[in-house]
């Protein structure tokens, strides 16, 4: 198989649907809907062309910060600090 154009929507038998992000004669990178980014050897890659890529909403990152939320470190450190202060008393 030769290089695919960026933005080409494809279907892989194991990973499902995805969008080609980079492709040359040696390697092809595909961002799959449910499995994230995967790299393939272009010459042995087996995919079906699936037409134009659907419009996907941007993935939103989950953050621990925000009003009313403690960071993971602060949550884990609070019981340890409480034990140390009660042990001293």
User: Who has greater pLDDT, 85 or 45?
Assistant: 45
pTM exceeds 0.85 = no
CATH for the stretch 1-54: 2.30.30
- CA distances 5 to 2, 52, 77, Å, are 10, 11, 50
What pLDDT does residue 65 have? 61
pLDDT-derived band of residue 30, with 50, 70 and 90 as boundaries?
A: very high
Q: What is the mean pLDDT of residues 50-68?
A: 63
Q: What integer best gives the mean pLDDT of the chain?
A: 77
Backbone angles phi, psi at 38, to 5 degrees: -135, 145
Tokens (6 digits) for 38: 């995967």
pLDDT tops 90 at residue 83 = no
């Amino acid at each position: 198989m030769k290089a695919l154009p960026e933005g080409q929507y494809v279907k892989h038998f194991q990973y499902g649907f995805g969008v080609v992000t980079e492709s040359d004669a040696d390697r092809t990178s595909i961002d799959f809907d449910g499995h994230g980014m995967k790299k393939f050897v272009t010459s042995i890659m087996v995919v079906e062309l699936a037409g134009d890529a659907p419009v996907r909403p941007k993935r939103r990152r989950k953050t621990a910060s925000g009003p009313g939320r403690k960071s993971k470190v602060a949550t884990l450190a609070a019981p340890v600090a409480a034990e140390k202060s009660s042990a001293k008393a």
